[in-house]
Structures are given as C-alpha cells and as structure tokens.
Chain A
C-alpha cells in the first residue's frame, strides 16, 4: 500500500483560486465604481449633436439626448424604449427635460443652425436663431455669413459687462453692507451706553456708507443701461419667438456645426467653468470653486490639528507612560474611537465645540456683538474651525496608532546610540526617533486625510452649508475667517442628488462632482505620499 503523501502526481493549490477570486471581486467592484463615475462625470462637459425630432403627434423637439431607458410595463422580449431630451427653455416649457416614446419619433434631422445657450437664469436653451440685434443697433440675420462671429463677439462683450456688474453688486456693495452692519452694531452699543460723541461719529459714518451704497447702485444701473444691450431673436421648437438679451448668455454654441477641435475646446471651457466658477441655479449649474476651496482648506486645517495632537499623544503613550493594564485600557479605547460612527462625532462637535466652546468664546470676546446684534452668534454656530476640529478628533486614533507603530519600529540600536552619547530622552525623541518615524507618521496622516476629506455626516451638523455667500478666505482682516460656514464637495454631492429642486438637471452634476471629489482626495494623498517618499529616501540604505 503506497503512502498517499508519496504520490508523484503534482497537486494544485486549490486555495490559490479561492483567494484570487476575492481579489478579482474586490478589484471588479472598484473598477466598476471608478469607470461609472468617470464615464458619467466626464461626458457631462461634452457637447453632442442636437437633433430636431419630429414626433408623430405633430410636436417638434429640439434638444440634447440625455437618457434612453426601457418603458415601464413594456414586454421583456420586445422592450420599448423612451428617450429623454434636454430641451431647455424652462420659462416656456415648464421643465427642461422631456420624455418621449422612441417609437413615436418619426424622424430626426441635425440642422446646422441649432444653437445651444447657457444662460444665467432659467437653465439652458436650444433654439434656432433668426437675427441678432447688436449693441450698436445693427441687425444681422442668422443667414448672414458674419452672424456667428458677431454673435460670439457680443457674448464676450456682454460677459465683460456682467462681470463689472458682479464686481459692483456683489463685492463692492457687499463690502459696504458689511461695514454698515458693523457700524449699526456699534451704534446700538453707543446708544445703549449713551456715548454721545461716538453716536455722532457713527451716525456720520453710516450716513457716509449709505451715500456710497446709493452711488454704487447708480453705478450699477449705469453699467446695465450704458452699453446698449445686444439681444438674440430666435424661434424655439414650437416656432415661438424667443428674445434673449445677451447679458443673460454665458455661452452659445452651434452643436451641429462644431468640428472635433471645437468640441474639445468647448469641453475644456466648460470643465474650467466647473472647476473655477461659482455655482448658479441652486447649484445645478456653474462651478464648484467654493466647494473645492472649502474641502481643501478644511482638510488642511484638520491635518494641521490632528498631526501634532496625535503625535504628542503617541509619544507619551509609547515613550513616557508606565506600561501596564491602565495603558492597555487607554490603548484599546483609542483604537475603538476609530470605530465610532462619524455622525456621533458630529453630535459631539455640535454639543461641545459649537455650543460650549463657541458659546463661551462668544460670551468672552464677542459679548457686544451678541447683545447689540440680535444675539447673532460668531463662533457659537457651525463654522470652518469646528468642522476641522470635529474631523481632527475623528481621525485622531488613526494618527496615534500609526505614530505608535512607527516609534516602535525605530531600531533599538538608534535609540541606544543616542542615549549612550548622553542625550536626554526628549533629545532622543526629538532628534532621532521623530525623524526616523516621520514616514510612518505621514502614512497615518495620509489615512486620516483620506477619511476626513470624504466625510460628510458630521460636517452637516457643524458648519457645512448648501450655499455659502462668501469664501472662508478673503481680502478683509484677518483674511482667514475660521468662524464662517463653508461649502464642501461631499455635502455638495448629497445636496445635488437628494435636495435639488430639478433632479434631472442635477443628475449629471452629481457624477461630475463625485469625480472631482475623488480627484481631490487622490491629489491630497499623492501629495502626502510624495512627501513621505522623499523622507523615506533619506533613510534608504539603513542597515539595521
């Protein structure tokens, strides 16, 4: 009887396949997620051809194809499809999007004169232009050769006027309003305390500000009326006349006339707007600059707060504390802190940071502000500072654990060599242990940043808003306003996807925003990894 273990037939390792399967499933899901987000996110900015479709009930549709799906209740073996067109012109059609049964569409043409417009208000429009009334009063028919050039020139000129207007209404009038608010609070205080001299001075200041306000309004009016406004006369699908003043037009393009290069240029122009502009139309249009900025600033501040706290704590735990049962309990608690649901940190942040800490700061430093400004809190409400602190607390265990492990991994020889030369414990930690464990600490910070940048739930409680009127950073002292509420990409995704009044319009933006959030987190991580690798290179060749 041969010993079965002596069998000369080779046997495979069945579990190789089993474990490999785990990797394949995991990879498949990640790749699926990324490709869905990238595909849907990138195509948002691509301008496809826009058909003019004849429906057999006599309607004509001019619109960009948005979706194609199986009609509800259609038989499975002969599925019938319906198409969704983005027709725009919300003010006339009631809705920018339209579902049509695919079978009912008699024919599609792609006439070269279809014009797509992105507008400041009421969303996009797809029209067939008739004539352009230029700002100098001349009228050009759409059939004229110079029409497109003249149209784009007028759009550019109108954009300059619009920017001037924004500069006046939002920034300069905004500044005046801000100063006015401050002066009014000061006046109320002065009146309350009967400071006659100050009252007079403040009244004079307010009067001056009011004068400036009126002057600015007049200036704005002059800008609006001064340059005669060009306007575009066109016909919509139902042959109604549509007159659009060009100050309303952000961008116009002829989707059926563009060559590939033109489409690429349009793509990048839209992408640029998305990244660098402010949102419009309940966040469904325009850009994400404030949200990108808010996410970045918040993540950076979180890292700046969590790193020193975490490292100092870990140094105490690893280097100074008496190792024993108490320390073991502390360690287990710290590790468990990493598993606490993030919303719990949000509630803590609201209850402690915002109400207790923020409330106390207001009582101590902004008492006048509270008393004379209808109890409007400064720090006693959600803001950038509290968001960063809350997330710092949430990611603290990650940094502590990583630092402890990095410190423990420093070769014993290095520690002994330092102590043997007569260095104190603190000198050894500062000069030898911390530099040597810096790559490990940075790994912890990278993990903390990755978790913090994508977190939404706690932020909703402690300071993230749908639309922040101002960035947390501007030209007025102290430049960085940690008390301000801000916008965040993660919250933006949630807001667009579930809180938007126009879910059809928000859908593509959800994907684009998600893609942007992923890219931002990847960039932050790459930056940190780059720093870590540079540090690692310094220790390369260590023969311990």
Chain B
C-alpha cells in the first residue's frame, strides 16, 4: 500500500544546510516544560534551545502539541481557561513567566503569524501600523515609513503601494497572509512565530512566503510550525519532531531529514505514519 501511495522518502527531500550565524545559541530556551489544558496534559518534558536568527521548524502529526508550544512562546494560550504549566521558557535569559514582565511587552517582542490570515477590517495601511498605533505612535511620517519598510520586507509593497487606503479584505489569500507577516514585523519584534502560515495557500503564494522567511531570518529568530515536510526541510535550520506531547528529536534539519536517530522520526518523515 505504502508503495502505491509513493510517500516522500527522506532521500528525495532537498535539505538546506544549517547556516551558522553570530548570536546566542540558547536565545529561546525551553526547560522541562509541561503544559495542561484543564486535566488534559498537552506537553510533557520539552527541553530545547533555539539559537538567535535561525529558523526552527516544529513538525509532527496533528495533536502532537507543536502548535501549543508555539502559542506558549508569546503566551497566547493565556486566553484559554484552566491552563497550567511546569518548567520554564526563557527568552534571552529572562523567563516569560516572570511576574515583572507584562504579557503585552512580551507579545510586542514576539510577533505571530497565524494559520488563517486574519487581517483587520481596516485599510491596508492601518493593518500594518496597528502594532505601532497601540504603543501610541501618532507621527504620520513614522507610521508611513514603518508601513513601507514592513511591506517591502513582506514582499508586498509593489503589489499594494498604490492602494494602501483600500480595505485589506479585498486582497487575495496569499497577499493577506503576507500582509499579516508585515503587520507582525512592523514593530520590529525579535522573534517571529508562524503557525502553519502556508496551509491555506497555493504553491506560488507558498513559495513567496518561504522566500520571505529566508530573508527575514537575517533579522528575526523564526519558529515555524508546519505540516509540510518539504517546507520544513526547505526553510529551517533546525527541526524539532513532536509526538503525543513529547519531544522525540531535535537537531539540525539536515540531521533530522538525512539521518534521524529515532525510529519514530524516520517513520514520520518517510510518511509511514502521521
């Protein structure tokens, strides 16, 4: 059966060699981290370090906890009732659960792009500068400059520069997702979280966003959750594989895809389960 399905084998996936850049090796550090939704344990014993200005991909079958972990990095799960955690997550040495650290200031440093593009029902311009507006930036020149910079970085500027005052809801799906990326980077966060950013997009739009990720990692530390093995291999420097709330393997992407040390990882990557 599996032969008929012709699963992607590890040998057919092109892997980009890990780039070594200057920066802290344990920029985001997760230590013995566990997480509960009410009585249900969603994460258990997670420990991994994410280096500065690299792309880390979280992969694994649905329900394995990769999105939960991602959403805990900027404490988006605080919106859910009855949550609990153990262990700690630090960003640049400081715990995100530090009582002296406001959730709002954490989220200003950790931008997020969601699975479904979710532009506000406002103009393209207002969407991009929203993060600046909430910190009280009024200066029109500053806003305009931030808007252009962000849209250029998100490779959307040329497509929308003549209609910045049009509603963002008139854009195509791929444009909307790039707009959401522009919005997430407008206030220059240090980290960018991406929760399956291409799952609702066609291959061309997906390609554009992957190109974007390559460019963005020059400035941002990027954590991306993806269901596409090829995408993980194409964009990430390091990959973590999760299964049933546990971290099975975390290593350079090259190692994970070429020579995984765990049998489960190999089975998943070669499409035998998950």
Binding site for B on A (CB under 8 A): 323, 411, 413-424, 427, 431-432, 435-436, 538-544
Contact = CB atoms under 8 A, between A and B. Distances in A.
Contact of A543 (B79, B107, B108, B173): B173
Contacts of A417: 114, 118-120, 180, 183
A367 to B, nearest CB: 47
**For the complex of A and B, 9 pairs with smallest distance between CB atoms:** A413-B118, A422-B108, A420-B112, A421-B131, A423-B134, A541-B169, A422-B107, A417-B118, A539-B121
B264 interface: no
Contact of B169 (A413, A415, A423, A539): A539
Interface string B131-166: 101110000000000000000000000000000000
B169 A424 contact: no
Contacts of A427: 134
Contacts of A415: 79
A411 B116 CA distance: 11
A538 B187 CA distance: 26
A411 B121 CA distance: 11
Interface in B169-226: 169-170, 173, 176, 180, 183-184, 186-187
Contact of A422 (B120, B131, B167): B131
Nearest to B81: A323
Nearest to B132: A421
Contact of B130 (A323, A423, A543): A423
B56 to A, nearest CB: 18
Contacts of B130: 418, 421, 423, 431
A542 B169 contact: yes
Contact of A436 (B76, B121, B131, B180): B121
Contacts of B76: 416, 419-420
Given A413-B118, A421-B108, 15 more contacts: A323-B81, A415-B79, A416-B114, A417-B120, A417-B183, A420-B76, A421-B107, A421-B131, A421-B183, A422-B131, A424-B104, A431-B130, A541-B169, A541-B170, A543-B176
A417 B112 CA distance: 8
B135 A422 contact: yes
A543 B170 CA distance: 9
A421 B120 CA distance: 12
A401 to B, nearest CB: 23
B236 interface: no
B167 A541 contact: yes
B120 A414 contact: yes
A16 B238 CA distance: 62
B65 interface: no
A424 B81 contact: no
Given A413-B114, A419-B79, A432 B120 contact: yes
A418 B173 contact: no
A284 B183 CA distance: 66
B75 to A, nearest CB: 9
Given A541-B167, A541-B170, A422 B134 contact: yes
B169 A420 contact: no
A280 to B, nearest CB: 53
Contacts of B118: 411, 413-414, 416-417, 544
Q: What is the size category of the interface that chain B forms with chain A?
A: 20 to 34
Nearest to A432: B120
A353 to B, nearest CB: 39
A422 B105 contact: yes
Contacts of B74: 420
Contact of B79 (A323, A416, A544): A416
29 contacts: A411-B118, A414-B121, A415-B79, A416-B76, A416-B112, A416-B118, A417-B114, A417-B120, A417-B180, A417-B183, A418-B120, A420-B74, A420-B111, A420-B114, A421-B183, A421-B184, A421-B186, A422-B104, A422-B135, A423-B104, A423-B131, A424-B104, A424-B134, A427-B134, A431-B133, A436-B121, A541-B167, A542-B121, A544-B118
Contacts of A540: 169
Nearest to B112: A420
Contacts of A541: 167, 169-170
A420 B184 contact: yes
Contacts of A422: 104-105, 107-108, 131, 134-135, 187
Contacts of A423: 104, 130-131, 134
Nearest to B183: A421
Given A413-B116, A417-B183, A544-B118, A538 B104 contact: no
A539 B187 CA distance: 25
B51 to A, nearest CB: 23
Contact of B107 (A323, A419, A432): A419
A68 B215 CA distance: 89
Max chain A Cβ within 10 angstroms of own Cβ: one of B76, B114, B118, B167: B118
Contacts of B170: 541
Max chain B Cβ within 10 angstroms of own Cβ: one of A420, A424, A435, A538: A420
Contacts of B120: 414, 417-418, 431-432
A435 B107 CA distance: 23
A421 B122 CA distance: 15
Contacts of A411: 118
Contact of B167 (A416, A432, A538): A538
Contacts of B135: 422
Nearest to A542: B169
A431 B81 CA distance: 24
Contacts of B134: 421-424, 427, 431
A432 B127 CA distance: 11
A542 B130 CA distance: 18
A435 B167 CA distance: 14
A424 B118 CA distance: 18
A420 B107 CA distance: 6
Interface in B2-60: none
A415 B116 CA distance: 13
B208 to A, nearest CB: 18
Contacts of B187: 421-422
Nearest to B107: A422
A423 B169 CA distance: 21
A435 to B, nearest CB: 7
A407 B173 CA distance: 25
A184 B135 CA distance: 60
A427 to B, nearest CB: 5
A42 B81 CA distance: 61
